[in-house]
Amino acid sequence: MDRRSSRRWRFLSLFLTALHLNPSLCSAAATKVSPRTYIIHMAKSEMPGSFSHHREWYASTVRSITVASSSTKLEAEDPARRILYSYETAFHGFAARLSEAEAEQLESSGIPGVVSVLPETVYELHTTRSPEFLGIGPDVSSSVWSSVLADHDAVVGVLDTGIWPESPSFSDKGMGPVPARWKGACEVGRDFKRSCCNRKIVGARIFYRGYEASAGSINGTSEFKSPRDQDGHGTHTAATVAGAAVPGADLFGYARGTARGMAPRARVAAYKVCWTGGCFSSDILAAVDRAVADGVDVLSISLGGGVSSYYRDSLSVAAFGAMEMGVFVACSAGNGGPDPISLTNVSPWITTVAASTMDRDFPATVELGGGANSTGVSLYRGRRNLSAQRQYPVVYMGGNSSGPDPRSLCLEGTLDPQAVAGKIVLCDRGISPRVQKGQVVKDAGGVGMILANTAANGEELVADSHLLPAVAVGEAAGEVIKRYAKSAPHPTATLTFQGTKVGIRPSPVVAAFSSRGPNFLTLEILKPDVVAPGVNILAAWSGAASPSSLATDRRRVGFNILSGTSMSCPHVGGVAALIKAAHPEWSPAAVKSALMTTAYVHDNTFRPLTDAATGGPSTPYDHGAGHIRPLKALDPGLVYDITPDDYFEFLCTQKLSPLQLKVFTKSSNRTCRHTLASAGDLNYPAISAVFTEQPASALSLHRTVTNVGPPASTYRVKVTPFKGADVIVEPKALHFTSQKQRLTYRVSFRTKSPQSAPEFGALTWTDGVHSVRSAVVLTWLPPL
């Protein structure tokens, strides 16, 4: 580790220590499993001329491995049969079953063409009013978006748990023929016929070889070995991206209205990569590779894994290849908040999406026998409603110890029926799923549940479709109810449900669960990129899954309400499809720039966006550039464009070896030209200045903007004042005389008072019509 990296690590360690967190982010020890799946990245340009096809070369590479220690059944197997996938489009390489010794030999023996050997990684899913909330309601859709979509058919690839094709959200009524350029297919399987695809669902594929190689064969009787979605997550995200308008959609009467996706006239291609045991990286890579070859315009990927480096993150490598082919890639930030440095999918060529609330809620009330009322949320709608005119006994099973009490968490097997039967049980949030706690209370004879947030969740409220009368309340209300339950001689309460309420203020609010920055790998690249609706989102659901996803829940619904960055990601994917349809010539970086520079950072009370975890203002480490604003993004005025070569030059600043850099290249001829003075000089729509010199003095960064607005225009700059440094922009005005003209400016930062914590602000170019805003972060690394 060089001095600069050491100081960055120390800064991040101090960042964590200040928040009383453990800086050991990647401490899980790898379990030795033999055999297992490995992903082998290959330099295709180094394929010997003796092979007519790279598949023959890959089989020969496996065959060349010799293990002197022993002869095993695995070694005797035909090398071609040990190869699970061959990757051909987004990047080059293959996935194969190898023993640990073979993998080590393959990586260390210098076999020509082998770039890296990575073990299989398991990714996790990051688990309809939003069009109107985003300003793209039906009146706007008909007048603005429909016309551009009619001229350019956008196809969004959704990597998830599959799709439920019978949902009315996937009706193709009124849609024209599938575009001739589309090369996708509709794969058949259990309960999924070719007729399940239509002019809306233009493709459906499954990827399971990596999963089966690691977890065993998929049980065809309990799980659909086909594109059909048994889980519901994939159907929900696909409908959020591009679902057709469905009037009268609701969940048990909640959120009733017309449900539709962000791009209701876009096409959907479903790539099923997630199964009951998880989402395996070899399958995800195969899906990205196939989706790019099929011809998708946008990829929406609501899953993620750990972050250790750019070149060892398989999804990062695949997304780089997709970006090179002109595909916009949106990924969820993760649900690790409010802990800092909890982000996944931090590569600069990925658009990383955080989650926020909308101005809609589902209020419910806890009325205590002592007269105090607490407001919470709930999606309960059943036949076991409690009477508003009657008070019911309340019990809290938590003790007085400082540590967690399994009874207070209402974990399975912890509640004594004699103690809770006929009572409302107060449960603490954490460890087990929220709805499952209600099932535990119900099984023990309880008549209702109050679900109280702990410090980890603060005042953030997430509504659930509980199996018994239940209300979720914030931490403060939870503490009040606990004190009452412990001190009153005969504590009582009742629960009431108010249905759906819109116009909530303030909104949006950054969700507490949304993962936070800074970017662990590169402080100069601000992450997340943007925030979008991800709390209490109504969208289509699988007919094979209950709304709670509990096996004991026999209810079936056409629409469900979910929360997570899994829900915010497809909002951005759908809006990207709209922008791509309006501007088919734009690069993925230009689309991303439009989303970031037009985002807003004030809520509907005109105050800075709030962080639900703290109740105070959120920062760019929480919301990125801000909350997406689709109509503004359609006409951003200026864009910060980035080419694949620029991203490669960024990687050249990351101290990667020539072999590690080859992971991102399709040709051995690509070498570093060192066109960037530092990572901060990447033409990113946000600006992050990192002071590394001691004493910190000055640094300069450069940006280039492309005019996509009126040919003749003049932009003038405004910069937020900072305590720690003076900021000088040269020139202070940009004079454009034509469209697509590119102009460069320099931002100089001169330290006047180094700060112990990062400072946040903005740099904005305005022409009187457009405001092109870049978030700015200043960070002073501590001395060694």
**Alpha-carbon distance 766 to 769, whole Å?**
7
Among 80, 93, 14, 38, CA closest to 663: 93
Maximum Cα–Cα distance across the chain: 87
Query: Cα dihedral sign for 265, 269, 274, 276?
Result: positive
Specify the long-range contacts of residues 736-739, CB closer than 8 Å, at least 24 apart: 736/707, 736/711, 736/712, 737/711, 737/712, 738/707, 738/711, 739/707, 739/708, 739/709, 739/710, 739/711
3-state secondary structure of 168: helix
CA distances from 358 to 210, 341, 374, 505 (A): 38, 25, 21, 9
> 59 Cβ partners below 8 Å, 6+ apart?
79, 80, 83
Other Cβ atoms closer than 10 A to 738: 10
Distance of CA 282 to the CA centre of its chain: 19
Residue type, 629: R
**Enzyme catalytic residues:** 160, 233, 566
Among 568, 543, 569, CA closest to 557: 543
DSSP code per residue over 258-292: EE--SSTTSEEEEEE-EETTEEEHHHHHHHHHHHH
Among 126, 157, 244, CA closest to 573: 157
> 637 Cβ partners below 8 Å, 6+ apart?
707, 708, 709, 713, 715, 765, 767, 769, 770, 771, 772
Other Cβ atoms closer than 10 A to 360: 24
Other Cβ atoms closer than 10 A to 236: 34
Residue with tokens 């009524």: 173
**Alpha-carbon distance 304 to 670, whole Å?**
29
Give the helix/strand (H/E) hosting 537: strand 537-540
369: left (phi over 0), alpha (psi -120 to 50) or beta: alpha
Residue with tokens 């690691």: 214
H-type helices in 602-715, by residue range? 620-623, 630-634, 644-652, 658-661
Residue with tokens 């850099």: 661
Report phi then psi at 677, rounded to 5: -70, -30
List 95's β-bridge partners, or say none: 39, 85
Among 272, 159, 253, CA closest to 570: 159
Contact 205, 271 (CB under 8 A): yes
> 736 Cβ partners below 8 Å, 6+ apart?
707, 711, 712, 713, 714, 715, 743
3-state secondary structure of 60: helix
> 634 Cβ partners below 8 Å, 6+ apart?
144, 578, 579, 582, 594
Eight-state DSSP code of residue 99: -
Report phi then psi at 3, rounded to 5: -60, -40
List 159's β-bridge partners, or say none: 271, 301
